[in-house]
Amino acid sequence: MYTKSELERFVEQAKKYARYGKVADYIPALGKADPNDLSIAICTPDGNVIDAGDTTHKVTLQSISKIIALALVLMERGEQEVFRKVGMEPTGDPFNSIAKLEEVQPAKPLNPMINAGALAVTHMIAGASVEERFQRLLQFVRKLAGNPTITYSPEVAQSEFETAFLNRSLCYFLKQHGIINEDVEELMDLYTKQCAIEMTCDDLARIGLIFAMDGRNPLTGEQIMPLDVARICKTFMVTCGMYNASGEFAIKIGIPAKSGVSGGILAAVPGRCGIGIFGPALDEKGNSLTGMKLLELLSKTYSLSIF
């Protein structure tokens, strides 16, 4: 049903909005992106990938990694332990806001999709060293995408590591309140590498498909994550995946999705397909403007809303 020529047409239509967006430059290495780039891939349960745009471009996951790290720690530690350190409620605040941390009792981050919550989740990735913990996460990403060559961009990781002062503040707040207890520099090292894992939108679409199929790889039959973990992740994608734009996104597009400030979007249409998008022109909330336009066109054309 999805044809390449139709996707190409959608990409051209959505690209027109690039001039209203801006690439993220608070992480200096991301500032080099071209706002006119836009690509999309759709992966269906038969494993087929249809893509359009410049699909050879790689995108760093940034906040998309939050959903994958969450799946991993839920598998390793179980729901009870994870939700002792991070909540389940949307904030309505920007992704890097520190404001709500002081207002809630006990002082734990409201959800795992905002930076404070994601840092608490990354803290829970088990292992004896940053390297071991990162490798565990990377192996999981490779398995989800079915691509053993996926790695991270040391340049983007380093660039964020050198400038992540607000994230460090969040870490120190969490440490003061006993949510984390490790060295903040080590956690920042792990978190910035996690955010710098990079892949094409074809890989992103394949990962989306695993979430769409309740954690199961439909080609091999392997249950990569338990159904409950996939369900929790998809629920967070709906309630918090697009930060403080999640409500409008649910109404206009209605697909569980997670965005990142690199311009990537990972989307999972339950039972139907995984979608990967790369469009670095962002709106003021940090979501891909062109990517959301593209998803809106898709959702309307193919009736993809889950609501």
Ligand X SMILES: NC(=O)CC[C@H](N)C(=O)O
Q: Which is nearer to ligand X, 49 or 238 (CB)?
A: 238
Q: Are strands 59-60 and 39-43 parallel, antiparallel or unpaired?
A: unpaired
Asked if residue 63 belongs to a known ligand binding site, the reply is yes
Reference 179, options 231, 245, 134, 112; nearest CA is 112
Asked if residue 160 belongs to a known ligand binding site, the reply is yes
Distance of closest approach, residue 186 Cβ to ligand X, in angstroms: 16
DSSP H helices, the chain, are: 4-15, 64-85, 115-123, 130-145, 154-163, 165-176, 184-195, 201-212, 227-240, 246-252, 289-302
Residue 22 burial by Cβ neighbours in a 10 Å radius (0-12, 13-18, 19+): middle
Q: Which is nearer to ligand X, 39 or 44 (CB)?
A: 39
Answer yes or no: 261 catalytic: yes
Ranked by CB distance to ligand X, the top (closest) residue is: 63
Structure tokens at 126: 């088990």
**Catalytic, out of 15, 66, 100, 108:** 66
Q: Which is nearer to ligand X, 112 or 260 (CB)?
A: 260
Q: How far is CA 259 from the centre of its chain?
A: 5
Asked if residue 243 belongs to a known ligand binding site, the reply is yes
Helix, strand or coil for residue 264? strand
Q: 66, 113 in Cβ contact below 8 A?
A: yes
Strand-by-strand arrangement of the 59-60 sheet: 59-60, 197-199, 151-152
Distance of closest approach, residue 44 Cβ to ligand X, in angstroms: 27
Q: Which is nearer to ligand X, 10 or 161 (CB)?
A: 161
Location of structure tokens 């249409």: 269
Asked if residue 191 belongs to a known ligand binding site, the reply is yes
**Catalytic, out of 2, 17, 152, 243:** 243
Contact footprint for ligand X (CB under 6 A): 62-63, 95-96, 115, 160, 167, 195, 260-261, 286
Distance of closest approach, residue 155 Cβ to ligand X, in angstroms: 14
Distance of closest approach, residue 199 Cβ to ligand X, in angstroms: 15
Answer yes or no: 191 catalytic: yes
Q: Which is nearer to ligand X, 109 or 146 (CB)?
A: 109
Q: 85, 77 in Cβ contact below 8 A?
A: no
Distance of closest approach, residue 1 Cβ to ligand X, in angstroms: 31
**Catalytic, out of 49, 191, 234, 299:** 191
Catalytic residues: 63, 66, 191, 243, 261
Which residues fall in the annotated binding site? 63, 115, 160, 167, 191, 243, 261
Annotated binding site for substrate: 63, 115, 160, 167, 191, 243, 261
